[in-house]
Amino acid sequence: MQELGSLGLKLAGTEEQQERWLPRLASGEWLAAYALTESGSGSDSAAMRTTARRDGDEYVLDGTKRFITNAGVANLYTVFAKTDPSAGHSGISAFVVESDAPGFEVARIEPKLGIKGSTTGELVFDGCRIPASNLLGAEGEGFRIAMRILDRSRPGVAAQALGIAQGATDYALEYAKTRETMGKPIAEHQLIQAKLADMETECEAARGLLYRFGKMADDGVDGPELTKISAMAKLKCGDVAMAVTTEAVQILGGYGYIKEYPVERYMRDAKITQIYEGTQEIQRLVIAREMVREQRGQE
């Protein structure tokens, strides 16, 4: 989660901005957050209502952000706001807001289904003043920066999902080897074997897609091709995590449903990977859009 809040600086920050903030983020002395979502704009992030108005050497931010990971523990927030509210997504700009900026407040922390070790909260900007030098990139480049960040951070969600899925598979296998019914370990019942085989196969398929993203990123692939494979990796790994953890609970039977065993937590933690950094529906829209674009390019 450190990556989501700091990628904006890596991708769009000036040398001065990078020197100022990145070392403290890299060492872990500071934590970072990424603030795009609002109560009325999640999937449709360009519909955001938070504004940033230039006032001399400062920008003044007004609005609220919802569901922000690391709220209250982050020292630095990458915040997206409209500098030109009439210009749609090309009126959005990106800013660095430090947690002690005047007019900035964390209004509440949300209770959640899973990932309870991570805070999720609401940010309020009430005449929040930040130095004009905290603008990332140029005015109007914020939406592009937000999307470039997600192209590179979504595979992090995919890796999170895959880790949960493989962990659930490994746990269910160990359990199935020792739990006996009808005179033999449940791992020797064919219906349980089929579940385990499908879980392992799905994990391996998801891993293949995620590693393909990694190879392409290492090879310097950028732009639409990277966007597509990033969305595919996130989509596949998230769906595999949800399906596999649900089957792990099933393999443990009643013991899967109670908190004494870890698989109910895996199932709760898996769900978020289908929702944040773009829902699975949005990943499908992104993939289909890139497919159409590719085909047009070939015509």
Q: Which residues are catalytic?
A: 277
Contacts of 28 (CB under 8 A, 6+ apart): 2
Q: What is the smallest separation between the CB atom of 105 and ligand FAD, expressed in angstroms?
A: 17
Among 55, 180, 281, 294, binds ligand FAD (CB under 6 A): 281
- Residues 243 and 202 sit within 8 Å (Cβ to Cβ): yes
Residue 217 neighbours by CB distance under 10 Å: 16
Among 74, 81, 149, 282, binds ligand FAD (CB under 6 A): 282
Q: What is the smallest separation between the CB atom of 138 and ligand FAD, expressed in angstroms?
A: 21
Q: Which is nearer to ligand FAD, 143 or 175 (CB)?
A: 143
Length of the chain: 299
Residues 129-158, one symbol each (x = binds ligand FAD by CB under 6 A, - = not), give ------------------------------
108 binds ligand FAD per the rule CB under 6 A: no
Q: Which is nearer to ligand FAD, 19 or 281 (CB)?
A: 281
The region of 21-29, 136-144, 149-157, 274-282 touching ligand FAD under the rule CB under 6 A is 274-282
In terms of Cα–Cα distance, which of 55, 112, 45, 117 is closest to 79?
45
**Nearest 5°: CA angle at 241, between 236 and 242?**
105
DSSP bridge partners of 78: 34, 96
275 binds ligand FAD per the rule CB under 6 A: yes
In terms of Cα–Cα distance, which of 244, 279, 273 is closest to 160?
273
Q: What is the smallest separation between the CB atom of 277 and ligand FAD, expressed in angstroms?
A: 6
Count CA atoms within 13 Å of residue 9 on its CB side: 27
Q: What is the smallest separation between the CB atom of 133 and ligand FAD, expressed in angstroms?
A: 23
What are the CA-CA distances from residue 124 to residues 9, 35, 108, 113, 267 (Å)? 22, 11, 10, 24, 32
In this chain, which residue has its C-beta nearest to ligand FAD? 42
283 binds ligand FAD per the rule CB under 6 A: no
Q: What is the rounded distance in angstroms from the CA atom of residue 6 to the CA atom of residue 11? A: 9
Positions touching ligand FAD (CB under 6 A) are 33-37, 42-43, 67-69, 112, 120, 272, 275-279, 281-282, 285
